[in-house]
Structure 1
Amino acid sequence: MNIKEFCDKYSIDRLGTNSLKWDALDKRYGDKRLIAMWVADMEFKTPQAVIEAMKKRIEHGIFGYSYVPMSYYDAFINWEKNEHNYEVNKEWIRFSTGVVIALYWFVNAFTKPDDSVIIITPVYYPFHNAVKDNGRKLITSELINTDGVYTIDFDNFEKNIIENNVKLFIQCSPHNPVGRVWTEKELDKLLSICKKHNVLVVSDEIHQDIIVGKNIQFPAAIVSGGKYADNLITVTAPSKTFNLAGLLNSQIIISNEKIMAKYDAYAKTVNKTEVNIMGLTAAEAAYNHGKEWLNSLLDVIRYNYNYLKTNLNEKAPKIIITPLEGTYLAWLDLRGYVDPKDTKTFIQDKCRLAVDLGEIFSENCKGFVRLNMATDPKYVEMAVYNIIRNITLLENSEFEH
């Protein structure tokens, strides 16, 4: 279906539904009237097939203890093979209630207090928290920013590993918030450094299906013929792909038997919850029947990003907009117009937008903002209008002075 048909069918007002994104604006931002473009979920209902599968389960009326059926494994394994050329064995799969909680588990399972864990920044802020909250030493390697295009500083990355005796690397692929889809060559170099220095890799691939540029998404486990799979844990979920975050269902993939045994031993001490039957039901239906819906969603994301980029380039050309290759999160550098210390005042109080500010992803990113493009185009149009209007007012004010 085209963009208008998709939005007419699936776009929905989330106010008054206990939505963290919309109904908690007053608590998080002190203003309930903002346009919510922050947390990474959507204003689109999940695929109709998912809704129907959940209705059928609800009509059964029993929500007791459940286990993961073979049909679920088949659906997930087929999705990974068909979409990402990644052949996953059932025995490699474990479950968590979310990728973030899994990161906390891995930090505890595979490192000791005061061990060093490295991340590549700017990056999703729970990566920082999973390390610091658990008493580990956080090591950061900053991406190289060349006019909004981000690349990995491999020399700095390796130097930090050696100097800090790093034990674990938490990778973001595709990368949130800068929207990079790493090439196989980039991943090969990154993973080879980790293998060389005996650094275990956790690859967060939750955005693996949200590919809107030309680069192909390579699961870390298949890079260079799979030669790094034995030094790797992959985490992914249907939550970003199909807007299912509230159903608390994520996959952990570990092919190395020793790593799996160590993880299983640790999981016995912390992971005593049963699987979420509604999460499993929704995810299975999405993996089996959600491809057409996803294709339409990607069209909407591309439209929204291109609208943002085209209009801001024309009317506010000193805003640097990072190319969006993957994820649905646009990354903007406002420093051409706004003093970094005034970013919150400008973007929230003047433009009326609730966004994630750059400094939560890296202390070096004050003056940057992240905007969610997985939303109804009307919100993107409003955001762009507000930004341009206030940039114009700012420039006129400076001209008058």
Structure 2
Amino acid sequence: MDTHEFVKKYLVDRKGTHCSKWDGLQEKFGRSDLLPLWIADMEFRTCDAIVDALKERVSQGVFGYSFVPDSYYTALDHWMQERHHSSVPREWVRFSTGCVTGIAWSIAAFTRPGDACMILTPVYYPFHNVVTNNHRRLVTVPLHYEKGYATMDFDAIEKAIVEQDVKLFVQCSPHNPMGRVWTEEELDQVLSICARHHVLVVSDEIHQDIILGDKPFIPAAAVKGGKYRDNLIILNSATKSFNLATLLHSHIIIPNPKLREQYDAFASGMNRTEVSVLGALATQTAYEKGGAWLDGLLQVIRRNYRDLKAQFHKELPEATVCALEGTYLVMVDLRPYVKPEDIHSFIQDKCQLAVDYGEWFGEGYQGFIRLNLATSPTLIQEAAQRIVHALKD
């Protein structure tokens, strides 16, 4: 299915549906007349197979206690092997209502109040909050940024771990908002540092399926043939890939049996949440029948990125549209044209756009904006034109 066909078939108008992205603008931005390109979900209806499976299940009219069938674990393992060359045995898998919840539960299970937890900034802002709100000490290490491309500063990472006595590292892979798909060499270096200093790694891999270039996504559990598995908690989900966020279903994958035992002991007293029967069904169906739909979505995201980059290169050559190897969220550096302190008024008042602002993700990124490309090409073109016209006017 080409881009035009995908958009024609699956694009929906979400206004008036209690949609946070469209109907929550007044609360978030103080006005309701903005074009929203902020929160990370889509204007695309999920694939027909998922909708049909949910309709059939809902028609039963019973939503009582249920268990996850064997076929679910088979579908998950097959998807991971086919897409990412990484097996996920059934015994490794636990469930949560979302990946940020999985981070919170991992922090609670494997650290104590006051322990230091490390993140690499800029990074998805709930990573900051989930550490501090759980009464852990937040340690931030900046990524090295140059001309639209972010890399890890391994010396700074190791220095922070040693000096701050870091106990847990929350990794974002692929990286939101810098769009990096980390190479195996990069992952090997950072995981090696953490293993050497006994720092547990919680790897949030929710964007694993949104891979846009030739660089493959490498699950942390697959690095160097699984060398670091015993020091890993892996979080992933179908929610970003298939627009299923509020079905409240994601995975906590724990290869190390001792860590699984420790997590289960924590969960027995804290996490008594039942698995979402609709979330599990939607996820299983996505993994069994959603591959072609996802491939169509990726084509749309690639087109939107190319269009945005081409328009800015032509009209605003000093702006930087950052590299986008993975995720559907792209950072744009507008500092050559807009003073960082003026970025909010420029974007909202002059362009009438709702975006995520760079400083929400980490210090030093005021003047950047993050745009959501999982939407209609028409909306991306309109947003770019608004920015161009506002600057030229």
- Taking structure 2 as the reference length, the TM-score comes to 0.99
Question: 1:388, CA displacement in angstroms?
Answer: 0.5
Question: 1:281, CA displacement in angstroms?
Answer: 1.2
The structure 1 segments of at least 4 consecutive aligned residues displaced by more than 4 Å after TM superposition are: none
Question: 1:85, CA displacement in angstroms?
Answer: 0.7
Q: Deviations over 1:286-307 (max 9, x none)?
A: 1100000011100000000110
What is the SS of the residue equivalent to 2:59?
A: helix
Q: Partner residue of 1:332?
A: 332
The residue identity in structure 1 corresponding to 2:87 is: E
Q: Partner residue of 2:113?
A: 113
Q: Partner residue of 1:342?
A: 342
What is the SS of the residue equivalent to 2:135?
A: coil
Distance 1:319 1:107 in 2: 38
1:256-295 matches, cutoff 5 A: 256-295=256-295
Question: 1:241, CA displacement in angstroms?
Answer: 0.4
Q: Deviations over 1:42-81 (max 9, x none)?
A: 0000000000101110111111111111111111111011
Aligned residues between the structures = 393
Question: 1:113, CA displacement in angstroms?
Answer: 1.2
Q: Partner residue of 1:89?
A: 89
Query: Are 2:46 and 1:46 aligned?
Result: yes
Q: Deviations over 1:235-269 (max 9, x none)?
A: 00000000000100001100101111111111112
Query: Are 2:338 and 1:308 aligned?
Result: no
Distance 1:40 1:213 in 2: 20
Q: Partner residue of 1:297?
A: 297
Q: Partner residue of 2:208?
A: 208
Q: Deviations over 1:214-252 (max 9, x none)?
A: 211000001011100000000000000000001000011
What is the SS of the residue equivalent to 2:14?
A: coil
Q: Partner residue of 2:363?
A: 363
Distance 2:228 2:293 in 1: 33
1:181-192 matches, cutoff 5 A: 181-192=181-192
Distance 1:133 1:161 in 2: 21
Question: 1:213, CA displacement in angstroms?
Answer: 1.5
Distance 1:310 1:378 in 2: 15
1:236-255 matches, cutoff 5 A: 236-255=236-255
Q: Partner residue of 1:167?
A: 167
Q: Partner residue of 1:399?
A: none
What is the SS of the residue equivalent to 1:161?
A: helix
Distance 1:260 1:272 in 2: 16
Distance 1:231 1:280 in 2: 27
Distance 1:260 1:152 in 2: 29
Q: Deviations over 1:322-369 (max 9, x none)?
A: 110000001011100111011111111111111110111002111111
What is the SS of the residue equivalent to 2:94?
A: strand
The residue identity in structure 2 corresponding to 1:334 is: L
Q: Partner residue of 2:141?
A: 141
Q: Partner residue of 1:374?
A: 374
Question: 1:20, CA displacement in angstroms?
Answer: 0.8
Q: Deviations over 1:19-39 (max 9, x none)?
A: 011111111111111111111
Q: Partner residue of 1:22?
A: 22
The residue identity in structure 1 corresponding to 2:392 is: T
Question: 1:203, CA displacement in angstroms?
Answer: 0.4
What is the SS of the residue equivalent to 1:60?
A: coil
Distance 1:380 1:182 in 2: 26
Q: Partner residue of 1:11?
A: 11
Q: Partner residue of 2:352?
A: 352
Distance 2:273 2:324 in 1: 37
Q: Deviations over 1:74-121 (max 9, x none)?
A: 111110111111111100000000001111111111111111110011
The residue identity in structure 2 corresponding to 1:319 is: A
Distance 2:262 2:42 in 1: 36
Query: Are 2:98 and 1:98 aligned?
Result: yes
Distance 1:274 1:108 in 2: 19
Q: Partner residue of 1:79?
A: 79
What is the SS of the residue equivalent to 2:301?
A: helix
- Taking structure 1 as the reference length, the TM-score comes to 0.97
Query: Are 2:188 and 1:197 aligned?
Result: no
What is the SS of the residue equivalent to 2:203?
A: strand
Query: Are 2:55 and 1:55 aligned?
Result: yes
What is the SS of the residue equivalent to 2:104?
A: helix
Q: Partner residue of 2:321?
A: 321
Q: Partner residue of 1:397?
A: none
What is the SS of the residue equivalent to 1:364?
A: coil
Q: Which runs of 5+ in 2 are unaligned?
A: none
Distance 1:259 1:308 in 2: 44
Distance 1:335 1:24 in 2: 28
The residue identity in structure 1 corresponding to 2:140 is: T
The residue identity in structure 1 corresponding to 2:80 is: E
